[in-house]
Amino acid sequence: MSKDLITLLLISPLIGFLINGLFGKWLKNVSGWIASLAVLIPFIISAFFVFPAVRGGGELKAMLYEWIPIESLNIGFHVDALTTVMLLVITGVGFLIHIYSIGYMSHDSGRARYFAYLNLFVFAMLILVLGNNYLMMFIGWEGVGLCSYLLIGFWFDRKSATDAGKKAFIVNRIGDFGFLLGMFTLFAAFGTLNFDQVFGLAETNTYEQVFGASTLIVATLLLFIGAVGKSAQIPLYVWLPDAMEGPTPVSALIHAATMVTAGVYMVARSSILFNLAHTGVVVAWIGVLTALFAATMALAANDIKRVLAYSTVSQLGYMFVGVGVGAYASGIFHLMTHAFFKGLMFLTAGSVMHALSDELDMRKMGGLRSKLPITYWTFLIGALAIAGFPLLSGFWSKDEILHNAWDSGHQIIFGIGLLTAFLTAFYMFRLIFVVFHGESRVDSEVESHLHESPPVMWIPLVLLAIPSLIIGAIVGWGGEHSAIHNFLKGVTGFVAHHGKAEHSNPVPFMIISSIVGIAGILVAWFIYRSKTPVSEPTNPLHKLLANKYYVDEIYNAVIVQPIRGVSHYLFWKIMDVGIIDGLVNLTAFIIRGIGGSIRRLQTGVVQAYVVSMVIGIIIFLGYYLFIR
Amino acid sequence: MLLSAVIFLPLLGAILIALARHILGESGLKWIALIITLLTFVVSLSLYSGFNADTHEMQFKEERTWIEGLGISYHLGIDGISLWLILLTTFMTPICVLAAWNSIEKGTSGFMISLLMLETAMLGVFCALDLFLFFVFWEAMLIPMYLLIGIWGGHRRIYATIKFVLYTMAGSALMLVGILYLYFQNDNSFNLMTLHGRTLSHQNLLFLAFFIAFAIKVPLFPFHTWLPDAHVEAPTVGSVILAGVLLKMGTYGIVRFCMPLFPEGVAAYTPLIVTLSVIGIIYGALVAMVQPDLKKLVAYSSVSHLGFVVLGLFALNHHGVQGGILQMINHGLSTGALFLLVGMIYERRHTRMIADFGGLSKQMPIFAVFFMIATLSSIGLPGLNGFVGEFMILLGGFMSDSFSKVYAIIAATGVILAAVYMLWMFQRVMFGKLDNPKNQTLTDLSLREIVVLVPIVVFIVWIGVYPKPFLSRMEKSVDQVLQQSRSTAAVKAAAPAIVLDTTTREAKKIDE
């Protein structure tokens, strides 16, 4: 029974993909509804069957079929509380974004293809979280990467879009290289990639020491390289801002709510390994540095989606701080609240673009509050949530992460996290004031057909705004004894606090977080409530931020161009054509030359043959008669 | 008789075409070729259904004395390794006939005769259990391929085809010497099966004599420079057969001869070979990246992919060898599909330069789907066939006792590079603005072209999603090869006399 239902849950989006992929040409107007239904079915199964079944710490497991006849490389699933949180986020937020897309993409002639890709993405994401082993996680992992590639480059006649798609795929592949080696290390050590077996053997310390005593350290760090790629952390974050070339609902679903959080899911899933290897501290540091770094870039961005993209990178950093310091449930909690409010903000940004004929530059907006009231209010809720405004969803999850960082003895991480929280509130409200308040700077041509989005688009906004407001309080109230912690206890209950067994009082932390968040909002209000953002940066720091620290340029100059140049000149022209093929042709030339000179002996003149014959006879006779 | 039927049906077809050449029109000859190759495929399927996966022994054996005084026999048989290569050959050939349907402008009969003779020779190579017979088929393959490139090829076809033949012949000459030396060590017999029980002398030299011949065919870096020329000049079908099947004769030879017969040679040369494979993987990928010509790009990607295959084989463990053999099939499918696709746009535009294209997705959406699938298969995307092979090869390499993990780690960067060169190529050909007027009138795939590609895509997905049926049939045979390739190492390691006794006894059992 459970096996059939989970199989249905899994293949439903696959069927949606096949229908839209094969027959999309004839389905134009219904393709969106088919795709939405294909995601609604798994949501219903997750909410009304899976959720109650795993609530008391239950697990659903089944093997579907043997994939490679190597020890336990099977296709099977493993559903526990952690998976269920992911399932609800993927299918719940995913369903709303599908519905929103019906309106957003209604004028696009390629919408059947769009919905096919979107369903394929959901299918791959479900494989990623349902799998009972690392290999299956990897299959989903690369599958979502493919869909991300296809959807970023959805408008394939734009070079910037296809460049961004390719960049996303390749940068992710660099991360996947680490994931792959991590899997090999685990397989060499444990002889299996099955979660239950790997974790069981790791806890009892019965495994092959592939890299001596640091086997687990190496394995977890390699896996984490995969997470760094997929979840856009330093140094592999560069693909995510560019990924905004895709349709905006894609940014909401893939590049905010679900796919990019896969790395956090992976670390949480491997919590036992990270605890044993004590590598969480690396995770936390990468996370907090990324959080700060990305937030500073968001300060100077003028593209509304790029601000949100940097913000996503930054918030993912928070999640890694959470799972890195051992507060796995808090990290997953933030993953969930972030899916709601960031998904919401991307969709509202899409709504703004929809109203302004795809304008992205904040400097050409302003004063939209009265024209787009629903968009404004829902965006405001999202921004307050991410800024950590008291009692909204982001407040709870972010506060928990910072609190746990402090309690686990990482005061510096706590400090950087707090600074980032201030910057987050600041850049978000900079965006709000510049886009929605002040004077309108919209082109008069565009302004004439300014309109609020249709219901198919604003209803999902409202449905995402509600959890952004209240979900944090509902599941996060009570700290260690809150609903989310109780729910996730079985999976991530083991919290590795270094030395400190007791939790400090959460209330001071909540107060500090609130003050920092509100301060950020106020500073933004003070600076941007009426001011128009400058068009070109003048001071060097601003310039550095606006140019994203020149990281893309540095990567291009240090990695991309040298490899291309060396391949073209040294390897192809000199090595291959010059030396290797040159030697081959030289051999042929020499043999032909020898043949050519020997050929001269065959003159065809009988007298010459007779002369050489006589000389030969004389030599042989002379040798036998006189020398021997 | 089944194997003989599979091998010689195409030859029969070739004779039929030669006889009917003046009676039937061009299309009639093409239909004969198609029907015969399809029939061959159907007959070869009975090898699959009748195959016993529980044994490593040779099946469907046929043995008849051929030239008694010289110890030459007509000796055929297949195991779980050759089974797949035979099926790959019989599967790809009808696809090639159909692909060539409208593209051969002159001498259709000659083309089809060459193609069918080529099929016979390739099948013979994969079935022969007599060294002499093997060599006959091995060399016989050269003639039709020489004609295919030399008559139906591009502008520099004569240079390319002579280079191809001379390169191969240079290797074959060494192998012939090796075969003769084996003949004398084998009590004046060319029987491959009686060789297995023997401890051969001068294994290192023999290994090299065979290995160089096979390495040229693979091609392993640095013996690869004939490949780009041959591919660029060959007609589409020639490239498909070349990449799809002919290259695998090299890797097959390694598994069938080098590994089981000369364990000492394997032990001595593994470090060198693995180094060359890893260089080939990276080097092939980097050179592929900068190619302006689509066919050259795919040709160099073959150098990279076949590097993976050889790496897997010399991992000398279960995962590596199985992955290597599976990857031979995978490469045949994905690279075969890529050459077919390149051929399809070449027929329309008469250019293969990447720079001449751009934005084709808009004009040819069906083509775009197939091209995307073949590209992703070549990249090794999970869910498609290429991933399974690469994963097993790299896992095998990582866990190998015969070389350091570092090789597998470096090789794994080839996975990143594959994404770079394939996606960059795809972007330049398929995406962007459709601004070249010559591309604006392109027509999408015809029904015939779709029929050509669909079967390949089915297997690309099948192997990716459910590889077990493919792997389980080769399992026993792979174990056997591994055991033989390790036997001397085991002898040296453990108590000598006893182990020697058991291994030889087991080896004898195989012969019987």
Q: Which residues of B touch A174 (CB under 8 A)?
A: 416
Q: Which residues of A touch B461 (CB under 8 A)?
A: none
**Residue A608 in this model has a pLDDT that exceeds 90:** no
**Residue A167 in this model has a pLDDT that exceeds 90:** yes
- The Cα–Cα gap between A26 and B511 comes to 61
| Option in B166, B409, B434 nearest A181 (CB) | B409
pLDDT in tens, A387-404: 988 889 999 999 999 999
- Closest residue in B to A109 (Cα) is B362
- The Cα–Cα gap between A418 and B117 comes to 75
Q: Nearest C-alpha of chain A: how many angstroms from B419?
A: 6
- Closest residue in B to A158 (Cα) is B432
Geometric angle at alpha carbon B47, from B42 and B48, rounded to 5°: 90
Say if the Cβ atoms of B420 and A157 lie within 8 Å.
no
Residues sharing a CB contact under 8 Å with residue A589, sequence separation 6 or more, in sequence order: none
Say if the Cβ atoms of A184 and B395 lie within 8 Å.
yes
Class of residue B435 by CB neighbours under 10 A (exposed 0-12, middle 13-18, buried 19+): exposed
- Closest residue in B to A577 (Cα) is B225
Q: Angle between the B385-399 and B365-379 helix axes, to the nearest 10 degrees?
A: 10
Q: Which residues of B touch A187 (CB under 8 A)?
A: 395, 398-399
Buried b (16+ CB within 10 A) or exposed e, A532-550: ebeeebeeeeeeebeebee
| Option in B382, B424, B471 nearest A143 (CB) | B382
**Residue A534 in this model has a pLDDT that exceeds 70:** no
pLDDT in tens, A216-261: 999 999 999 999 999 999 899 999 999 999 999 999 999 999 999 9
Per-residue confidence (pLDDT) for residue B26, from 0 to 100: 83
Q: Nearest C-alpha of chain A: how many angstroms from B418?
A: 9
Interface pTM, i.e. ipTM:
0.90
DSSP A108-177: -TTHHHHHHHHHHHHHHHHHHHHBSBHHHHHHHHHHHHHHHHHHHTSSTT-HHHHHHHHHHHHHHHHHHH
Residues sharing a CB contact under 8 Å with residue B186, sequence separation 6 or more, in sequence order: B71, B194, B195, B198
Q: What are residue A303's DSSP bridge partners?
A: A361
CA–CA distances in Å: residue B172 to residues B168, B210, B258: 6, 8, 14
Per-residue confidence (pLDDT) for residue A75, from 0 to 100: 86
Q: Using a pLDDT cut of 90, give the percent of chain A over it.
A: 52
Per-residue confidence (pLDDT) for residue B495, from 0 to 100: 40
Please choose, from the candidates A113, A522, A209, A245, the residue with its C-alpha nearest in 3D space to the C-alpha of residue B366: A113
Say if the Cβ atoms of A567 and B472 lie within 8 Å.
no
Check: CB of residue A124 under 8 Å from CB of residue A140: yes
Peptide bond into B222 cis (omega under 30): yes
- Closest residue in B to A184 (Cα) is B395
* Portion 178-237 of B in contact with A at CB < 8 A: 222, 224-226
End-to-end Cα, chain A, rounded Å: 100
- The Cα–Cα gap between B369 and B374 comes to 9
List the structure tokens of A146: 């493919």
- The Cα–Cα gap between B399 and B320 comes to 9
Say if the Cβ atoms of B433 and A157 lie within 8 Å.
yes
pLDDT in tens, A462-499: 999 999 999 888 888 877 788 888 888 877 655 544 44
Report chain A's mean pLDDT, rounded to a whole number: 89
- Closest residue in B to A166 (Cα) is B423
Say if the Cβ atoms of A67 and B361 lie within 8 Å.
no
Check: CB of residue B73 under 8 Å from CB of residue B63: yes
Q: What is the mean pLDDT of residues A529-553?
A: 78
Class of residue A495 by CB neighbours under 10 A (exposed 0-12, middle 13-18, buried 19+): buried
Q: Which residues of B touch A176 (CB under 8 A)?
A: 415
- The Cα–Cα gap between A192 and A90 comes to 28
Dihedral angle computed from the Cα positions of residues A559, A561, A566 and A569, in that order, rounded to the nearest 10 degrees: 180
**Residue A307 in this model has a pLDDT that exceeds 50:** yes
- The Cα–Cα gap between B254 and A121 comes to 41
Q: Which of A65, A70, A113 to substitute to test the interface with B, most B CBs within 10 Å?
A: A70
Say if the Cβ atoms of A580 and B222 lie within 8 Å.
yes
Per-residue confidence (pLDDT) for residue A491, from 0 to 100: 72
Q: Does B411 touch chain A (CB under 8 A)?
A: no
pLDDT in tens, A393-451: 999 999 999 999 998 889 999 999 999 999 999 999 999 998 888 888 888 777 777 88
What's the half-sphere exposure (Cβ side, CA atoms, 13 Å) at A197? 15
Say if the Cβ atoms of B431 and A156 lie within 8 Å.
yes
pLDDT in tens, A579-598: 888 888 888 888 888 888 88
What's the half-sphere exposure (Cβ side, CA atoms, 13 Å) at A583? 9
Q: Which of A25, A242, A567 to substitute to test the interface with B, most B CBs within 10 Å?
A: A567
Check: CB of residue B258 under 8 Å from CB of residue B218: no
Q: Does B381 touch chain A (CB under 8 A)?
A: yes
Per-residue confidence (pLDDT) for residue A552, from 0 to 100: 86
pLDDT along chain B (512 residues), means of 10: 92 93 86 94 93 90 89 92 94 94 85 94 94 94 92 89 90 92 89 84 91 93 90 92 93 93 91 95 94 93 95 93 95 95 92 90 92 95 93 93 90 93 93 88 91 95 92 90 74 43 43 42
